[in-house]
Amino acid sequence: MKSNKGLLIGGGILAAGAAAYFLLQKKEAIKALNVNVTKLDFNRSTKNIVVFVRMINPSNASLSVKSIVADVYWKGSAGATIDYRQPFVLQPLEEKTIELPVKLNLELVTIITSLLTGKFKEAISGKFELNGNVNAEGLVVPLQYSKEISFVDAKK
């Protein structure tokens, strides 16, 4: 009976150690996750901005990404949101580009519609910013981006 008790305790310690190692490996993988915006584009059919985000998992552990959410700012004012909730897994050493649709407010819809139809009357310029996070394995990785953008009326 005494040896069975020791075996159970030893097995429990081994299982706890394996679980701790697994969690530490996931935490290190999330800290190493590389997330950056690679491209901004317009979807002419939906008249929406699309943001392309490249994610690189440089670790030896797979990562389950649950969501990507961000606030989008135009000239310092909240102009849109990104709310991507299509879970996926980044395998070890995998690189993946995700296309994120941006839900625009009315002001940005008007600007984009004017740009696409060639009806804007003046140069439009300002700072486009993203401030959000990627939820992976229950932990968050910051997603931040900032770019000065200028559109000039080609008819002038």
* pTM recorded for the entire structure: 0.70
The residue type at 119: K
Phi and psi at residue 115, in whole multiples of 5°? -65, -45
Domains of the chain: 2-151 (2.60.40.10)
**Phi, psi dihedrals of residue 112, rounded to the nearest 5°:** -65, -40
pLDDT digits (tens, 9 = 90+) for 103-131: 776 666 666 666 656 665 555 677 888 89
Q: What is the pLDDT of residue 118?
A: 62
Residue with tokens 């697994």: 22
Q: For residue range 43-58, what is the model confidence (pLDDT) as tens digits?
A: 777 767 788 999 998 8
pLDDT in tens, 65-83: 999 999 988 778 777 889 9
Q: Which pLDDT value is given to residue 66?
A: 94
